[in-house]
Amino acid sequence: MEKLLEVKNIYASTNQKTILKGLSLTINKGETHVILGPNGAGKTTLGNVILNNPAYTLDKGKITFDGHDLKNLTTDEIAKLGVFMSFQLPAEIAGISTFNFIKTAKSKQQKNVNVFELKEELNNLAKQLQIKQEMLSRDLNLGFSGGEKKKNEILQLLALNPKLAILDETDSGLDVDAIKVVSKGINLYKNNNNAVLIITHNAKILENLKVDKVHILIDGKIVHSGDAKLVKEIEKNGFSAYKEGK
Q: What is the pLDDT of residue 204?
A: 80
Count of structural domains, the chain: 1
Q: What is the pLDDT of residue 208?
A: 87
Q: How far is CA 116 from CA 100, 125, 229, in A?
A: 12, 14, 45
Mean pLDDT by 10 residues, the chain (246 residues): 95 96 97 93 95 96 97 95 92 95 92 93 96 95 92 96 95 85 95 96 84 95 94 88 67
pTM over 0.75: yes
Q: How far is CA 229 from CA 67, 169, 200, 214, 215, in A?
A: 31, 20, 15, 8, 11
We report the CATH number of the domain holding residue 182 as 3.40.50.300
Q: What is the pLDDT of residue 173?
A: 77
Q: What is the pLDDT of residue 200?
A: 87
Please calculate the CA angle 90-206-125 and round it to the nearest 5 degrees: 55
Q: Measure CA 141 to chain center.
A: 18
Q: What is the pLDDT of residue 25?
A: 97
DSSP state of 144: -
Q: Which domain holds residue 115?
A: 3-242
Q: What is the pLDDT of residue 205?
A: 85
